[in-house]
Structure 1
Amino acid sequence: MSIIETAGLWLLHRMDPERAHGLSIRALRLGLVPLPGPVTSPRLATTIAGLDLPNPLGLAAGYDKNAEVVGPLTRAGFGFVEVGAATPRPQPGNPRPRLFRLPEDRGVINRFGFNNDGAEAIASRLSRARRDVPVGINLGANKDSDDRAADYLQVLRVCGPHVDFATVNVSSPNTERLRDLQGREALSALLAGVTAARDDLARPIPIFLKIAPDLTPAEIEDVAEVALSSRIDGIIATNTTLARDGLRSAHAGEKGGLSGAPLFERSTRVLARLSAMTRGRLPLIGVGGVGSAEEALQKILAGASAVQLYSALVWNGLSLVPRILHDLDAMLERDGIANISELVGQDRARWMKGD
């Protein structure tokens, strides 16, 4: 991390978290952040659901909610970028304050509630954005919607022509009863509708499903069975958690979804269990607590074909992205691994035991 980035983070951490987030978006838009371009090597390049990625490290949804800085983010070193969540109509989200740093835990709690400019505005920005790596949209539903399943289809129809993949987000804890859509019958119907809408696009794209880390083993099995019987292309595991185990920071009791380092073990165990249940028939993307090359590698060993991060950027800045990738590439070279895909799921059994 450079002196300038260190100083910048120091200043941002002394501001209200949501204001600091907005300033980071503005700095990217103004070209004030050094960008390395896509980072790749023969060991890092991979393919997931037909998407050719220069490396397996992506940006999770939630940072660029409104697709304001897609171009810069695709030149920040990531192998792929996900924006959103987008809802059919603009909505302000939950009242402020709704974003909290947990410095002692290296975590973040948010209760944004799908605040965004709406699908039409986001699609317009996506249509104009230069991109150097695949870009996806996280699909959401309006809080006051009478038919949330229809909302997902509407966002896909509007934004789908301008992205390379889409994610069905039924796992945010900040929209009341949204997680009910993870139940077997509701999820099956929703995914059938989304994949049918995808087929109507001029250029059909992969569809991923993003699940919560707080599911029981039986619920994970239901998700796996529904996913395998549907026509989706992969699963993202996991979203934020409602658990608060072992936290020390002052804001630990705030309502909302917890992300960052405290989520790593919980989300990786869910990932491993899901990997075993899907038996390699669906690619998985691991997200939750990734902040180093070793943690990215552990997600892959647990069963992920690619990984995502977001919260770690709060503490380490965008320079973390190329640093993780260069370290990961060096680890693969040291161990004589020709391509990272060789390691997918190799340590799944240990993670399922919780060792």
Structure 2
Amino acid sequence: MSPAFKITPAGSFDPDEQRVLSPTEYLKRFGHQLAESRGRRLSFIDAELIDDDRHRRAVDVHPLTELLERARLSGANAAPIFSRASSVDYTAAVSRFVQRDSNALLCFRIGLQELEDIPNASVLSDYVRELGGSPGQTVLLLDGGPLQIDDAEDLAHLLAMQMARLIVRGTWLRVFWSATSFPDKPKMKPGTLARFPRSDWHVYEAILRIKDEFPVVPMFSDYMLEFPGNYLPLNVSPTAKLFYSTENEYIYCKGRSTRVGDGYGNILSVAAQLVSIEEMKVSDYSLGDSYIHGLAGGIGKTGNASMWRWCSTDHHLAMVDEQLTRLLGIPRERLVPSIPAEQLQLV
């Protein structure tokens, strides 16, 4: 697994420091965090949301360069994500990264809506070469963004047609398809549970059903349990809530604001409601499931918004791993989690 981290703007409340970090503090702690959570495993970094004057003033170099250099100095392995819409300064930072290391890997993101505007395969390859990179050392990420579709088969056929026109086998290091159908701020009352179809997963199932139409069968990616527009800094009291993915649905379980009632203890009733659903996995399915079951049973601390996001994300990764290995016919060995759940700063 190679995660793509979209770096959000500075300004959110930091649960460890119990305060809002300055942009300088926020950027400079990145390398240590990445090395601590990922070691030498490859991670892709999208810094386009902090490609602005506020974050540039916080460091002596471009924010993307700051992140990549901090990662390198901490012993982490990070590579940049860029797009055709990246600013001149951003693409210059990508070029500097490549010039520093001739073996550097890159990730080139292409939006679904962009595909029709690209005339041929050479345009994509030439764009990477103009930055000093090599298509053979570049991951091509086809980004569907948020999907609202009724027919997964139609989108799969459309994607196959565009890929056949724009992608030549053997050109790119890897090709990924990514999308989400996770909802954007659904209107729900406290104490309610809502279900939403995992259309993004259904599209990938459709892709594999017609895989012979593709020049390269794309690898799977999704946004996990995040809507792509929810990246603004937050410095408010969180709402007790848990997200959960099943084979075919996303589940959103909403409680009360932590400003009222039992405060952060409001998460306990949310967890109890979630574990009562038929699709809830057993506690040893993942560390995240173990944590949710513990909350439902009133075991341990209530945690905070970061922990609630972490446990939902951990379950989702286990779910996707199970689905992919089954769909692709790969043997999968079930291991009982043995590492205590801790906050993952980059999730």
Q: TM-score range by the shorter chain?
A: 0.3 to 0.5
Bigger relative CO (Cα 8 Å, ≥ 6 apart): 1
Calculate the TM-score normalised by the size of structure 2.
0.45
* TM-score for both structures, normalised by structure 1: 0.44
Structure with higher Rg: it is: 2
